[in-house]
Amino acid sequence: MVPSLPPIPQAVMVDVGVVVTLVADVGVVVIDAVRRRPLVGSYRHW
């Protein structure tokens, strides 16, 4: 347990960074989709 403690914080930080980047990417994609859907709907209605 003791020798495995030092790398754990680094792994946790890496995981947190990956999760944050994934969440940010997903948020951008969702925002783009939400912004594009009304435009596509309006174009289809026209």
Task: Please state the rounded mean pLDDT for residues 17-41.
Answer: 84
Across all residues in the chain, what is the average pLDDT? 75
Alpha helices in 1-46 (DSSP H): 7-45
Q: What letter would DSSP give residue 4?
A: T
Report pTM: 0.47
The two three-digit tokens of residue 15, written as one number: 């995981």
* pLDDT for 29 beyond 60: yes
* pLDDT for 8 beyond 70: no
Question: How many Å apart are CA 3 and CA 36, to the nearest integer?
Answer: 51
